[in-house]
Amino acid sequence: MSQEKANGHHTMQKRCRQCGICCTKGGAALHSDDLGLLLEGKIPLSDCVTIRKGEFAWSPLHDKVEAIQTDIVKLRGTGGEWVCCYFNASAKNCGIYANRPIACRTLKCWQPEESLALIGKDLLSRQSIVKNDTVLLDLIEEYEQNFPLPDFSSLSAELLKNPDQTIQHLEELVAQDLAFRDKQVRLSAKVSAGELFLFGRPLFQLLEPFGLSVFQKGNRLCLNLS
């Protein structure tokens, strides 16, 4: 019999039940308190992904999907999902428990006030993490200047209004985005390992929620609207 129902009385949950549900809801966002974990290699950049300002993501504060207002560096997911890369599903435990980020350390699903208060506060940026590496800093700046995100808030309306023209434009952006990534990955093993951290997810992945999928036709990348 569980502690909560011992002696026939229901009591408030007071400890983690190790159900693993929180770990399947998306990797933790990283905050300034986590910088040491990154600099000491306890969390490698290869296990991080940047959600760029303007991307649509789930907001636990507003309980809906919306465009985020600032970049968020977080632990990457696995298998094309947002399940934290450090979550062991069979054992229901964390692979870096002793070195887990502050968002994980403060999370108490039965008493969420402390973790909710962290959301959007004192977040780490890509620039603050690699501030001593001028090569990576310059790459981040170059990418952001040359590959700003489309206006996702109006994309659905544009696809309805001018589908052919909008898709053609997006195809060009997707091709340019992938060409830049491919070049940088081939030039540097460090960039290859940290691509998702440095540049975020490829544009074609960000278009999937809008019903757009990418396919190759000859030497050309095309988008299909489902």
Q: Which two tokens stand for residue 175?
A: 């091709």
The per-residue DSSP string of the chain comes to --GGGGGG------S-----GGGGS-PPBPBGGGHHHHHTTSS-GGGEEEE-TT-EEEETTTTEEEE-SS-EEEE-BSTTS-SBTTEETTTTEETTGGG--HHHHH--TTSTHHHHHHTTSSB--HHHHSTT-HHHHHHHHHHHHH-PPP-GGGHHHHHHHSHHHHHHHHHHHHHHHHHHHHHHHHH-HHHHHTHHHHH-S-HHHHHGGGTEEEEEETTEEEEEE-
pLDDT, residue 11, reads 54
Q: Return the pLDDT at 20.
A: 81
Residue type, 17: R
> Could you please report the per-residue DSSP string of 157-194?
HHHHHSHHHHHHHHHHHHHHHHHHHHHHHHH-HHHHHT
- For 189-205, how does the pLDDT look when each residue is reduced to its tens digit (9 = 90+)? 999 999 999 999 999 99
Instruction: Identify which of 171, 178, 180 has the alpha carbon closest to the alpha carbon of residue 213.
Output: 171
Which pair of tokens denotes residue 78? 């696995």
Which of 62, 103, 56 lies closest to 84, judged by CA? 103
Tens of pLDDT along 17-37? Answer: 878 888 888 889 999 999 999
> How many helices (H) does the chain have, and how many strands (E)?
10, 8
pLDDT tens digits, residue range 88-128?
Answer: 988 889 999 999 999 999 988 888 888 888 888 999 999 99
What per-residue confidence (pLDDT) applies to 26?
82
Q: pTM for this structure? A: 0.88
Strands (E), 37-145: 48-51, 56-59, 64-67, 72-75, 87-88, 93-94
What mean pLDDT is predicted for residues 152-169? 96
